[in-house]
Structures are given as structure tokens and as C-alpha cells.
DNA sequence: AGGGTTAGGTGATGCAGATCACACAGTCGT
DNA sequence: ACGACTGTGTGATCTGCATCACCTAACCCT
């Protein structure tokens, strides 16, 4: 078992996934030390809000364990989930850097731990350790990239089926088997999936039936078995 | 008349709009000097492609004059326009910083001038002048912000009418009159508007008739007169 | 003038997916 | 064991918009 993030993210961590490209990995000894001084770790229960859309930025959260749902809601009450974050993700960075309100709401989907770095401390860090600014730029451009992916799916994918297939593909990328199949633990409700792909709960329900019937996937309890990525990819570009 | 960007963006410019928050404004003398050495200015005709989606990042462009259309196309050929950039905008920064292919195509909508800064030079700049990294982070987070706006409109706005109203509102923000009305020069074709709001040309055409009939706007040659922002805002959240 | 091209208007049609309205299963608290 | 949730399946209906199929106007070449 890998050491949880909270224990190493602020060191010159060698155990980080993504080959140390994460924020605050591989900083100088002094910078890491400073980070350790300003960070504070806390455990959050399921349903806890790390921050809420529209709030002034208090600081950034580095997620150690657990999953976080990032979402935006329109005035009419429609909600979209823009991302499901997990261990290692940095939340609220854009708001802090640009000093604008958080653009999303971050809610714990399961109990978990996160490091909090206050806004001021982060800004002082940037001043004192220019190397940190580079790291942050990297992280921001990664965030931008995923935002752009989102735009592409929302703007270009025609039908809900396509978006659903796309979503399944992103889920299966992490755990692809040798024979092309893969298994994922379902953590989202149909309602939430609907909010991710921008459709209704009913449609998601029907998509599940449809995809099962077409042998694209099957459901064993809470684990989703994806038969073949290839078949899904054909759906996406059809 | 304000001096065009090309003449001042690389100086400690006092004539910049947006109170100097633009990339590469207010740098130290040495840094500006370096920038002047590595930049190259060119004039591009209408239709010229600064870069194309999927290309490896060669560098960033700082737009001096003219308008640039940023767009993405799906494999099936559907195109969305994600942004219309104008003077002062920095193009291709994310791709260069994250060293990933350009995520959009940048096409000149009218003849214009731009400064080009090669990828390597920019990276050396960051190394040599840590202050630049901060500027870049600022710029990236601004980019992220506009991308997020895009996600909100695409994901949350229900009907084409709503998106259209929203678009008109963003156009009119720049030039609002005292009585609530405003005039904008139309530079996009219906087809292009359709690609911005993710609908078809025909629907845009009908939207124009509809909005005209509802007295929300009127058209005098190529200038669009928006009657009242308030009325549009009601549409958006209806 | 004439033909080609591009932008814009508008009617007819069809269908995917939102919406509404239930019914049913599982899980919680007491 | 009981309601009271919350999550899920599925039918019936209704409609907004994509699609197709034209047509007109303006503009640019030679």
C-alpha cells in the first residue's frame, strides 16, 4: 500500500504518482519546509464542502484521500459536475491565483483528508520561492487542459450516448485489463452521472439498459465491467 | 489613438489597457529587454492560421491588432468556436507551458499583427526571470476562468435562445450606453455564431428574427443595436 | 451582363430526449 | 416491522431543434 498523500506530498516525495509532476513535489528543501509550516491537515466527513462557488478564495486544498465532487449550479438550479477529483488533486488554485471567487463547489463524496494552504501563505511562498511559481503554472495549465476536454465533450459530442460512452472510457483508462476489458467501482448515482454528461436521470437509466443490451458493459453489484474499449470508441465517433 | 500593442506590449507599458495586468507588462527592464530580443513581429493576412489544433507547440503569439478565431473540430467535422481573441490576448500559452499540442486552431479573422515568442525562449525567460513565471500563472488562471465560463454556458444554458442572449450580453458589456442600450459591430456570420453557441445556422437565423420581433435588438447594416441589457438578462435566467 | 460563390431567410418534417408519472427495490432510523 | 427516504427502472406524451430543401440577395470575378 502506498503511503497516503498527506504524508509525503509536502516532502521531496519519491512516492508520488505521475512521476513527481504534481504540485509541490520536488521542491527545494527550504520550500518544502515552509510548506510544512503553513499547511494544515484536516479530515472531512462525507458531504463536507471544502468551498462553495462564489466564495472569496481562502486558500487551496491538496486532497490526500477521498473523492471530491466539483460542481457548478445555475440560478435556475441546474447543476453540472465538472470533475471528480481524487488523491493528489489541487483544488481552488485558480481562484487563489487570480483572486476571484471559487468558480465551483467542492464537496466530499466520501470521508477524506486534505491539506489546506491559506491564500496569503501561498502568495508569500511564490514571492520567496520563485520555483513554486513554475510548479503552479504547470498545475494551472493542466487544469486548463482538463477544462478544455470538458468543453470539447459538452460542445462537440452530439448525443447523450456519445457522452456516456466517453465517460465510461475515461473511467476505464485507469484500469485496463489485458484482454481489453476493465472493471470500475461505481461511485456515482445515475443522477450524478446525468449531471456529468448534461442530461437527465431517466436518460442515464435508459443508457445503462441500452449499453447492457448491446453487450458494451455489465453490472456486478457496484462494479462496472466494461467489455471492450474498442466498441465504446466506435460509439464515440459514430 | 492608442499606440498599437506591437509597439508597447514588450515595454514597461503604461498604455496597456486592463491596468497592466496583461502578460509581460510591468516586467523589469532586463526582462523586457530579453523579450525584445527573442520576439519577432509579423503581419498575417485574413484567414492565416497562427497554429492548428494538434500541432506541437512552437511558441506563443501576442496579438497586437486584428481578431483571431479560436476553434476546435471533432473527428466528425463539427466545429465549435471557443473564443474570439483580440488585441492584447496571448495565444497558445497553455500548450507551450504544459508542452502539449495546441488544443485549438487560431485563425486570423481579419488582417493583423502579432508578436511571436518561441517556446525555448519563453522557457529560458522563465528560468532567468522568475518574475515572468508569476505573470504567466496569472495569465493562465485568466484563461482558465474564461474556459470555465464557456463550460457554464455550454453545460448549464438550456436553449439556444438562452445562449444567444448570453452571447449578445457579452458583446454589449464592452460598449454599454447610458440608457442601457448599446451598439456592436457584427463581425461574425450566422454560421460562426452558430458554432459559438453550439447550434445550427438556421436556428441562429430564426433567433435573429425572433429577437428583432421581440424588440430585444435591431440591425442597422452591420451594427447591432441592443435595446436593453435587462430584457436579455431576463431571457438568460428564464 | 452573366455565372459563381457566399450569406441569409423560411417552410415542412421527424425524431431524440426532456418531462411527467408511476412502480419497485434497498436502506436507514426508531 | 414500520414508514420514510433515496436510488432506480420504464412507459406515455410532447416539443424544440436539427435536418432537408429550397429561395433570395449581395458580392466578386472576368
From first to last of its 238 residues, chain B has per-residue pLDDT tens of 444 444 444 443 433 443 344 667 777 788 788 888 899 999 999 899 999 999 999 999 999 999 999 999 998 889 999 999 999 999 999 999 999 999 999 999 989 999 999 999 999 988 888 888 888 988 999 999 999 999 999 999 879 999 999 999 998 876 667 666 788 888 999 999 999 999 999 999 999 999 999 889 988 888 899 888 888 888 877 5
Residues of chain B found within 8 Å of residue A72, distances taken between Cβ atoms: 151-152, 155-156
* Phi, psi angles (nearest 5°) of residue B89: -75, 150
Return the pLDDT at A23: 63
- Report pTM: 0.86
Return the pLDDT at B12: 36
Burial of B98 (0-12, 13-18, 19+ CB in 10 A): buried
Distances (CA, A) of B45 to A141, B42, B112, B116: 30, 10, 7, 15
Question: Under an 8 A CB cutoff, do B142 and A98 touch?
Answer: yes
* Phi, psi angles (nearest 5°) of residue B54: 100, -20
Contacts for A149 with CB less than 8 Å, ≥ 6 apart: none
Question: Alpha helix (H) ranges present in chain B?
Answer: 5-8, 29-38, 93-98, 119-128, 130-156, 160-173, 190-197, 201-213, 229-237
Among residues B229, B238, B236, which one has the least CA distance to residue B162?
B236
Smallest CA–CA distance from A194 into chain B, residue: B155
> What is the mean pLDDT of the segment spanning A191-204?
96
Triad B150, B155, B156: Cα angle to 5°: 100
Among residues B96, B116, B91, which one has the least CA distance to residue B38?
B116
- C-alpha dihedral over A133, A170, A116, B132, to 10 degrees? 10
Return the pLDDT at B26: 73
- C-alpha dihedral over A98, A100, A103, A104, to 10 degrees? 100
A173-189 pLDDT, tens per residue? Answer: 766 676 667 888 899 99
C-alpha grid cell for residue A175?
484500469
Instruction: Say which of B131, B148, B198 has its CB closest to residue A103.
Output: B148
Nucleotides of chain D within 7 Å of a protein C-beta?
Answer: 6-12, 16-21
**Residue A40 — left, alpha, or beta (φ > 0 → left; ψ -120 to 50 → alpha)?**
beta
pLDDT greater at residue A70 or residue B36: A70
Question: Alpha helix (H) ranges present in A105-200?
Answer: 119-128, 130-156, 160-173, 190-197
Mean pLDDT of chain A: 85
What is the 8-class DSSP label of residue B70?
A: E
pLDDT greater at residue A55 or residue B25: A55
Among residues A47, A51, A61, which one has the least CA distance to residue A111?
A47
Q: How far is residue A148's CA from residue B71's CA, in Å, rounded to a whole number?
A: 11
Residues of chain A found within 8 Å of residue B137, distances taken between Cβ atoms: 97, 126, 133, 136-137, 140
Residue to substitute from B104, B134, B146, B150, interface A, most A β-carbons within 10 A: B134
Instruction: Say which of A133, A142, A151 has its CB closest to residue B150.
Output: A151
**Chain B positions with Cβ closer than 8 Å to A:** 72-76, 78, 80, 82, 93-94, 97-98, 100, 103-104, 126, 130-131, 133-134, 136-138, 140-145, 147-148, 150-152, 154-158, 198, 237
Per-residue burial over B211-238, b if 16 or more Cβ lie within 10 Å, else e, is beeeebbeeeeeebebbbbebbeebbee
Residue to substitute from A80, A104, A144, interface B, most B β-carbons within 10 A: A144
Burial of A86 (0-12, 13-18, 19+ CB in 10 A): middle
A183 pairs with which residues across the strands? A225
Question: Under an 8 A CB cutoff, do B144 and A143 touch?
Answer: yes
Query: Given a cut of 70, is residue A1 above it in pLDDT?
Result: no
A5-16 pLDDT, tens per residue? Answer: 444 444 433 334
Residue–nucleotide distance: A90 CA to C11 C1' (Å): 53
Among residues B115, B139, B125, which one has the least CA distance to residue A144?
B139
Which position has the grid cell 491537515? A41
Q: How far is residue B169's CA from residue B194's CA, in Å, rounded to a whole number?
A: 16
A115-125 pLDDT, tens per residue? Answer: 999 999 999 98
Amino acid at each position: 500500500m502506498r503511503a497516503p498523500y498527506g504524508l509525503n506530498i509536502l516532502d521531496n516525495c519519491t512516492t508520488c504518482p505521475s512521476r513527481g509532476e504534481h504540485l509541490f513535489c520536488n521542491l527545494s528543501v527550504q520550500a518544502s519546509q515552509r510548506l510544512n509550516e503553513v499547511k494544515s491537515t484536516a479530515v472531512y466527513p462525507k458531504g463536507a464542502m471544502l468551498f462553495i462557488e462564489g466564495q472569496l478564495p481562502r486558500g487551496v486544498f491538496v486532497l490526500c484521500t477521498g473523492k471530491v465532487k466539483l460542481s457548478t449550479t445555475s440560478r435556475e438550479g441546474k447543476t453540472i459536475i465538472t470533475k471528480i477529483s481524487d488523491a493528489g488533486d489541487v483544488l481552488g488554485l485558480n481562484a487563489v491565483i487570480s483572486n476571484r471567487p471559487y468558480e465551483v463547489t467542492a464537496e466530499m463524496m466520501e470521508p477524506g483528508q486534505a491539506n489546506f494552504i491559506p491564500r496569503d501563505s501561498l502568495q508569500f511562498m511564490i514571492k520567496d520561492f520563485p520555483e513554486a511559481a513554475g510548479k503552479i503554472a504547470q498545475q494551472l495549465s493542466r487544469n486548463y487542459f482538463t477544462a478544455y476536454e470538458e468543453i470539447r465533450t459538452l460542445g462537440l459530442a452530439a448525443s447523450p450516448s456519445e457522452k456516456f460512452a466517453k465517460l465510461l472510457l475515461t473511467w476505464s483508462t485507469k484500469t485496463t485489463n489485458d484482454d481489453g476489458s476493465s472493471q470500475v467501482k461505481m461511485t456515482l448515482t445515475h443522477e450524478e452521472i446525468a449531471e456529468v454528461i448534461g442530461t437527465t436521470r431517466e436518460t442515464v437509466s435508459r443508457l445503462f439498459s441500452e449499453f447492457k443490451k448491446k453487450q458494451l458493459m455489465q453490472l456486478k453489484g457496484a462494479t462496472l465491467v466494461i467489455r471492450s474499449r474498442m466498441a465504446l470508441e466506435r460509439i464515440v465517433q459514430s
